[in-house]
Chains A and B, each alone.
Chain A
Amino acid sequence: MKEKIADLEEKARRLRVAIVKTLHKSQSGHTGGSLSAIDMVCALYFHKMRHNPAEPAWDGRDRFVLSKGHAAPALYVTLAECGYFPAEDLMMLRRLGSHLQGHPDSKGTPGVDVCTGSLGQGLSMANGMALGLKLDGKENRVYAVLGDGELQEGQIWEAAMAAAHYKSDNLCALIDSNGLQIDGDVAKVMNVSSISDKFKAFGWNVIEIDGHDMGQIVAALDQAEAHKGAPTAIVAKTVKGKGVHLFENKASYHGVTPNDDELPEALRCLGCCD
């Protein structure tokens, strides 16, 4: 198990490098929220989810919804690492004609099942998938990654109510609680705390973790799968921009990409010499 965790940590480091390089190339996109979510996305794709990159539409796959769609770079580098499409495609992020749109687009990108980017809509779609899979008697699970600012959308709480009402225990929401949104601290812009108490009050199973501790992420995902009768919310304390001190805990790096001056230092932080 220790080895498995170390492997995942190394994968996540490489994915961070890919995020930084991809965003440096595109010069457009969301740095902070991609780096805060990547450990969870990495654990999902390389530890937890059943999926088959050679056959993206494989019927037996678990489903993933990046509800905070602006963290698309985190999803794209992961899908590329899995082999859903060539890593070179990443260099075309956000370019005219590229399948890698600014926000996830199921029409063009292999491995992407729904379109997201307008915040607040992903949990509803994830619960719809969970209900549909259950109707078909399938064991597959559905995972959704949400932002903490995103929780301000009322639709999130409509979905939370519905998922608990229908006992969608095949649904797991991971909350990337980095404490920041565009205009500043979530607590100052529009306080959503306590996230855990809210999900508990809505009837969810809640697990609190450090969202950058791979051991805790893996354990929480396993616990979520074992929990029956209610959906699980993994409330993950994270750091926006995690891994590169230049970007850490800075609201200003929400939608700003690494520039030429920052790139070498960013890669150095990520233990990368090239």
Chain B
Amino acid sequence: MGRRTHTERDLTMIATRDAYGEALAELGGENDKIVVLDADLSGSTKTGVFAKKFPNRFFNMGIAEANMVGTAAGLAAVGKVPFLSTFAIFAAGRGWEQIRQSVAYPKANVKIVATHGGVTVGEDGGSHQSVEDVAIMRAIPNMTVIVPADGEETKGAIRAAAAYKGPVYVRLGRNKVPSVFPAGHQFEIGKGVVVVPGTDLTFITTGLMTAAAVTAAEKLKAEGISARVLHIGTIKPLDKELVLQAAEETGAIVTAEEHSVVGGLGGAVAEFLAETRPTLMKRVGIHDRFGTSGKSDELLKYFGLNAETLIEEAREIVSRKK
């Protein structure tokens, strides 16, 4: 499932937020319990597509994220299935305690779909670049945390979130990203996917870093290094089975995420493996610092969030194995 080779790779580029807008509007037609809330960013988050189709079930709450979260919890309490959206920094940040108390604690059926996660927000700068949202969402009991790799997986994740009963946090991006999964890819909450098989090390990646890992694995093959790519779409609950298998079979792990190395995917994998099977490991991500203004592609390079960094880390970790 999901195994692709270089020749099969689909080079379509689509922003995960665009896939979200489409999927949400589609779901709206299938389930009239779905209601959508936004905080003055419906054009950017793409909830505007739903709003146009179902104006009665769309609530623009204005620039008032905390109130939006509480309102969604209320809507869930009377049987609605609320999806709320704004930028990740404002959804997870401004709304954190409301999410913790009014959504997660009662296990309310609220879906938080946060767009513009990570540094690819670009020019707006560090105030708008959420590098810690996955960590703070993951720390909340009852919360499911999903970071799709591409548009196709996003559509599946949104459908899965709607079908699941309970709080879900989905983190999406601003920019177009290369496809990793074929059309019709089945997303399952809590299940990782081995995108590239390999034996010398495993890249455990999420979000846009999975595509970078696929590129890195292809290049490493030419130098005789066999890198597995394990995509983790659901950071919580973590697919412990596939992570453990990767540790056992390849003996070296490089995690990669467009997020702080503190508390995100790298943190989750390290916590799990430290207690079950200590393994050589390296976390690629943002090293405990804020983002900064710049073009998205420049920033990915600046923070070392690219295939080049993964290749270097792979060489280094494989040499340490010997």
Contact = CB atoms under 8 A, between A and B. Distances in A.
A190 B64 CA distance: 9
Contacts of A154: 64, 66-67
Given A103-B124, A115-B127, A182-B40, A95 B60 contact: no
Chain A residues touching B, majority SS = loop
B122 interface: yes
Given A26-B123, A118-B90, A182-B41, A149 B293 contact: no
B42 A183 contact: yes
A159 interface: no
B40 A118 contact: no
A98 B63 contact: no
Contacts of B208: none
B73 to A, nearest CB: 16
B60 A94 contact: no
A152 interface: yes
B61 A103 contact: no
B94 interface: yes
A154 B94 CA distance: 11
The range of chain A's interface size is 20 to 34
A181 B124 CA distance: 17
A26 B63 CA distance: 26
Contact of B127 (A102, A183, A192): A102
B62 A189 contact: yes
A1 interface: no
B64 A152 contact: yes
Contacts of A152: 40, 62-64
Contact of B123 (A69, A102, A183, A189): A102
Contacts, number: 91
Contacts of B66: 154
Most B-side CB within 10 Å, residue of A101, A103, A181 = A101
A29 to B, nearest CB: 7
Interface string B36-47: 001011111000
Contact of B293 (A102, A118, A119, A182): A102
B127 A69 contact: yes
Interface residues of B, number: 31
A150 interface: yes
Interface string A246-263: 000000000000000000
Interface stretch (B4-12, B190-198, B295-303): B295-303
Interface in A113-138: 115-120
B60 A105 contact: no
Contacts of B67: 154
A28 interface: yes
Interface in A161-194: 181-183, 189-190, 192
A190 B60 contact: yes
A192 B61 CA distance: 12
Nearest to B128: A117
A226 interface: no
Contacts of B64: 152-154, 190
B102 interface: no
Contacts of A96: 292-295, 298-299, 302
Contact of A150 (B63, B125, B298): B63
Nearest to B299: A96
Contact of A183 (B43, B126, B128, B302): B43
Contact of A153 (B43, B63, B125, B126): B63
Interface of B: 38, 40-44, 60-64, 66-67, 89-90, 93-94, 122-128, 292-295, 298-299, 302
14 contacts: A26-B123, A94-B293, A95-B294, A96-B295, A102-B127, A103-B124, A103-B128, A118-B94, A119-B63, A152-B40, A152-B62, A182-B44, A183-B43, A189-B40
